[in-house]
C-alpha cells in the first residue's frame, strides 16, 4: 500500500451495507426514469462527451463508484477503455447483469490499487460525497498519483454547506450514511492541493427533483492537449 494511502472511513461498512440495500431501487430509478443516466440530461451528457473525447485512446479509465454501471457503459460505447468499481457488491452485481460486455469490480475509492501514472482518466460521478472531508482530500491525492501525465478527473457532487445525515433514501429504504455537501470553490482548492489543475466547472441549480450540483474537471500535470 502507498505510504499516503487514504484513511479507511469509520463508517465504510455501514455505507456499503446501505448501498447494498438501496441498489435494487436505484437501478429501477435509473432504468425506468433515466435519472442518473447522462443520456437523459443534455448538459451532463455534453460534459461526459468532452471527457470521453479527451481520454479515448489514451489508456484505461476508472469509474470510481460506478453504481449499476450506466456511465461506464456509455463511455465504452464511445470508445473509451473504461471499467468500473464500486463499494457495494449489490451495485456491481447489477452492473455486470446490465452491462455484461463491461468490466466491473468491488472496491472502495479509499483502497484502489491503480499503479502510479497508469490511468488516462478517473470518474468520481456522484459517488464521493459520503467520504469524510479529510478522506476526500486523500482520495483526490491518490487519484492524482494514478493519473498519467495529462490525464483527467471528472467529479460530480452535491453542492451546499454542512453534512446531511441520511436515514432513508431511494424510496424509504433505511440507510446509514452522511452526505457531505461542498461548495465548488472548496473542491477547487482540494483539487489544486492534490496536484491537479482545475479546467472546467458546470453548475447545476436545484431542479425540484434534486438539489444543487456541480461537475468539475481537472487535469494531471504533463502532456495535456
Ligand atoms: C448515487 S450512487 C451513483 C452511482 C453512479 N456513479 C451513477 O452515476 O449512477 C453512489 C455510488 O457510490 C458508491 N460509493 C459510495 N462510497 C464509495 C466508496 N468509498 N468507494 C466506492 N464507491 C462508493 C455507492 O455504492 C453507490 O453505488
- CB–CB of 99/38 below 8 Å? no
Classified as helix, coil or strand, 158 is strand
Choosing from 6, 27, 65, 130 the residue with most ligand 1 atoms within 8 A of its CB, the one to mutate for a pocket test is 65
Query: Is residue 65 over pLDDT 80?
Result: yes
177 lines ligand 1 (CB under 6 A): no
Classified as helix, coil or strand, 195 is coil
The CATH class of the 12-219 domain is alpha beta
CA of 2 to the centre of ligand 1 (A): 23
pTM: 0.97
The backbone region for 76, taken as left when phi is positive above 0, alpha when psi lies in -120 to 50, beta otherwise, is: alpha
Per-residue model confidence as pLDDT tens digits over 193-213: 999 999 999 999 998 878 999
Per-residue model confidence as pLDDT tens digits over 152-207: 999 999 999 999 999 999 999 999 999 999 999 999 999 999 999 999 999 999 98
Amino acid at each position: 500500500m502507498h505510504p499516503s494511502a487514504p484513511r479507511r472511513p469509520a463508517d465504510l461498512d455501514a455505507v456499503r451495507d446501505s448501498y447494498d440495500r438501496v441498489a435494487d431501487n436505484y437501478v429501477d430509478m435509473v432504468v425506468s426514469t433515466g435519472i442518473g443516466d447522462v443520456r437523459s440530461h443534455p448538459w451532463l451528457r455534453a460534459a461526459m462527451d468532452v471527457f470521453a473525447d479527451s481520454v479515448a485512446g489514451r489508456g484505461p479509465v476508472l469509474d470510481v463508484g460506478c453504481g449499476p454501471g450506466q456511465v461506464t457503459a456509455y463511455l465504452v460505447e464511445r470508445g473509451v477503455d473504461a471499467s468500473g468499481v464500486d463499494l457495494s457488491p449489490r451495485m456491481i452485481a447489477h452492473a455486470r447483469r446490465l452491462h455484461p460486455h463491461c468490466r466491473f469490480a468491488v472496491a472502495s475509492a479509499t483502497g484502489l490499487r491503480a499503479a502510479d501514472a497508469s490511468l488516462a482518466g478517473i470518474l468520481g460521478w456522484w459517488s464521493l460525497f459520503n467520504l469524510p472531508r479529510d478522506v476526500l482530500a486523500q482520495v483526490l491525492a491518490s487519484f492524482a498519483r494514478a493519473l498519467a501525465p495529462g490525464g483527467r478527473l471528472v467529479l460530480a457532487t452535491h453542492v451546499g454547506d454542512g453534512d446531511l445525515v441520511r436515514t432513508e433514501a431511494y424510496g424509504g429504504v433505511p440507510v446509514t450514511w452522511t452526505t457531505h455537501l461542498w461548495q465548488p470553490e472548496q473542491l477547487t482548492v482540494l483539487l489544486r492541493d492534490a496536484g491537479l489543475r482545475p479546467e472546467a466547472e458546470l453548475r447545476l441549480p436545484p431542479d425540484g427533483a434534486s438539489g444543487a450540483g456541480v461537475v468539475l474537471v481537472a487535469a494531471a500535470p504533463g502532456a495535456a492537449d
